[in-house]
Amino acid sequence: MHTLVFLSTRQVLQCQPAACQALPLLPRELFPLLFKVAFMDKKTVVLRELVHTWPFPLLSFQQLLQECAHCSRALLQERPSTESMQAVILGLTARLHAPEAGTGTQPLCRKHVLRVLDMTGLLDDGVEQDPGTMSMWDCTAAVARTCIAQQQGGAVEPGLATVPVEVRVDLRVNRASYAFLREALRSSVGSPLRLCCRDLRAEDLPMRNTVALLQLLDAGCLRRVDLRFNNLGLRGLSVIIPHVARFQHLASLRLHYVHGDSRQPSVDGEDNFRYFLAQMGRFTCLRELSMGSSLLSGRLDQLLSTLQSPLESLELAFCALLPEDLRFLAQSSHAAHLKKLDLSGNDLSGSQLAPFQGLLQAASATLLHLELTECQLADTQLFATLPILTRCASLRYLGLYGNPLSMAGLKELLRDSAAQAELRTVVHPFPVDCYEGLPWPPPASVLLEASINEEKFARVEAELHQLLLASGRAHVLWTTDIYGRLAADYFSL
């Protein structure tokens, strides 16, 4: 339910021209709620004026658009409205060109000057597109265009507001957007509008462009670097990594497809790997490392031993890990600090099972998020692991999609997990009982591509639901939906 204050605020904004005229008369303590309601209801005229006359040094989307005492709706968990985002940007532009007193709806107050507009934390789900909302790519482009236009507008006229505004954003860049984003970052240097990147995600970007972009980023702002689909290999990574390592406050590094090039002499590959390890040792604040689809067989000890502090999130999906890799991780200082662990795509059914169980035991006190998609875990391995798995008392998320589990295995997991009071989401596979003519053991590709008997699976879903109801856990989501934005980002844990 909404509070009376929220309902009154919504009513005030019904007539936008009148609301804009009333802003000087309203207590500034109401501005945060006014902003949320205007953003939610797409009151773009009011929203632009709110940004234009914002009375505080900080305007933060993460603070203003979250669930609050007056409204339980968390707008950060939704794609932002295109109209509302454009209104915010227009309000910022108007503010930069506003006289200190004068002709606007109200003069720009000099007592409280906006210094930081924090637009980070917007939903970046990468799924279905709604033409009425903005993706992170669209947000990046809109902010970049504003920076370029501000610089091209020339010097600020005498008597206009000249206090620079730092705009904090999460930037997404690919081949198509690279050129104008680079221009925006260059334009913001010495400009009244200073672009500051918190999280950078570069997709399918050539090595030289990635380096050029990294050189333009503020070392004091960057929190995460995420390089996707670049297929750098060790040779390319050895060129990029020193430019990443200069960001001493970097907390999250996400790399993919790090492996040797079979066309290179092995001595060059080893030199590149040693250089990569030396650069990794420069990070002092790193807490999350993702090395998905990287060939790390027998090398995990070399990689993790170089780090200066324990990791809290480690993603090693499809890394061809060996038993000695898992044993090392279980005995390392990282295990006891892990909140998130992703071992998807590594076969844990044979000689890796016992080392994996040792790792799970070592991480049981802190683990919140465990992803084991396509790990070849059948009922036998699950039953052997359940006593250790259920000791992970703080576990909130368990991903088991793509494993050859039967209905009996899922029911046993459901019953035993009753002891895990914090568990909220289980992404489970389609039970092998629901397939016809399945080879055994079934390869993950078969489980992912073969058709299932929909009637059998409907009965499975109904039975699981009844078991959850009977155990008083209707709030726990059991689903086969791996695309439902259920996996938590490290920074949200």
Q: Which two tokens stand for residue 191?
A: 């400009």
**Domain edges within the chain:** 368-485
Show pLDDT as tens, one digit a residue, over the chain (493 residues): 789 999 999 999 999 999 999 999 999 999 999 999 999 999 999 999 999 999 999 999 999 999 989 998 888 888 889 999 999 999 998 887 766 544 344 554 544 589 999 999 887 755 556 777 887 778 888 888 887 887 776 555 554 546 789 999 999 999 988 998 999 999 888 888 889 999 999 998 989 999 999 999 998 899 999 998 777 778 888 999 999 999 989 999 999 887 654 445 466 788 889 999 999 999 999 999 999 999 899 999 999 999 999 999 999 999 999 999 999 999 999 999 999 999 999 999 999 999 999 999 999 999 999 999 999 999 999 999 999 999 999 999 999 999 999 999 999 999 999 999 999 999 999 999 999 888 888 888 888 888 999 999 999 999 999 999 999 999 999 999 988 766 789 999 9
For 226, list phi and psi in degrees, rounded to 5. -130, 110
Question: What is the rounded end-to-end Cα distance, in angstroms, of the chain?
Answer: 27
pLDDT at 110: 43
pLDDT at 126: 54
Cβ atoms of 150 and 193 within 8 Å: the answer is yes
Cβ atoms of 219 and 252 within 8 Å: the answer is no
Q: How deeply is 437 buried, as exposed, middle or buried, from its count of CB atoms within 10 A (0-12, 13-18, 19+)?
A: exposed
pLDDT at 111: 44
For 303: left if phi > 0, alpha if psi spans -120 to 50, otherwise beta; the answer is: alpha
Q: Kindly report, residue by residue over 161-205, the tens digit of the pLDDT.
A: 467 899 999 999 999 889 989 999 998 888 888 899 999 999 989
- What distance in Å separates the CA atoms of residue 127 and residue 84, rounded to the nearest whole number? 20
